[in-house]
């Protein structure tokens, strides 16, 4: 479990950031990503749960069933479905984020993740 992930450069909402990817089967997470605009570390675990989601209603050809534009802006019918998703965790405390990185990332000492955590970023950064 310890040192079962590696940090890599990534893009999130058109902003450069970092993510952790698993490098060992025993890693408890699918991935982790840091959102520099909100300073939130998103952890996607291997724990599965059932969740209700609105999904497009499909016709016999697998295409969304069209309808006039709805209040939510969509132009297709939707239906509520129960689907299996991975449990997500959101960590906002900077110290806790750094502790998680140091616990799981093999390259925590060599990867400059703090530059992403300390940088001020607008909600969407133009490249």
Query: What pLDDT digit, counting tens, does each position of 64-100 carry?
Result: 999 999 888 899 999 999 999 899 999 999 999 999 9
The closest alpha carbon to 55, from 34, 42, 74, belongs to 74
For the chain, give the mean pLDDT. Answer: 91
SS3 104: helix
CA 6 to chain CA centroid, Å, is 16
In this predicted structure, the answer to whether residue 32 has a pLDDT above a threshold of 70 is: yes
Average pLDDT over residues 36-57: 93
pTM for the full predicted model? 0.75
- Number of Cβ atoms within 10 Å of the Cβ of 21: 16
57 burial (CB, 10 Å; 0-12 / 13-18 / 19+) is middle
């Amino acid at each position: 479990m310890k040192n079962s992930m590696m940090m890599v450069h990534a893009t999130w909402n058109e902003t450069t950031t970092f993510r952790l990817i698993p490098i060992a089967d025993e890693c408890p997470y699918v991935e982790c990503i840091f959102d520099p605009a909100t300073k939130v570390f998103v952890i996607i675990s291997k724990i599965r749960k059932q969740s209700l989601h609105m999904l497009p209603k499909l016709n016999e050809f697998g295409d969304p069933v069209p309808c006039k534009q709805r209040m939510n802006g969509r132009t297709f019918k939707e239906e509520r479905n129960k689907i299996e998703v991975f449990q997500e965790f959101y960590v906002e405390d900077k110290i806790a984020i750094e502790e998680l990185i140091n616990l799981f990332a093999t390259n925590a000492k060599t990867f400059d993740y703090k530059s992403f955590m300390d940088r001020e970023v607008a909600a969407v950064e133009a490249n």
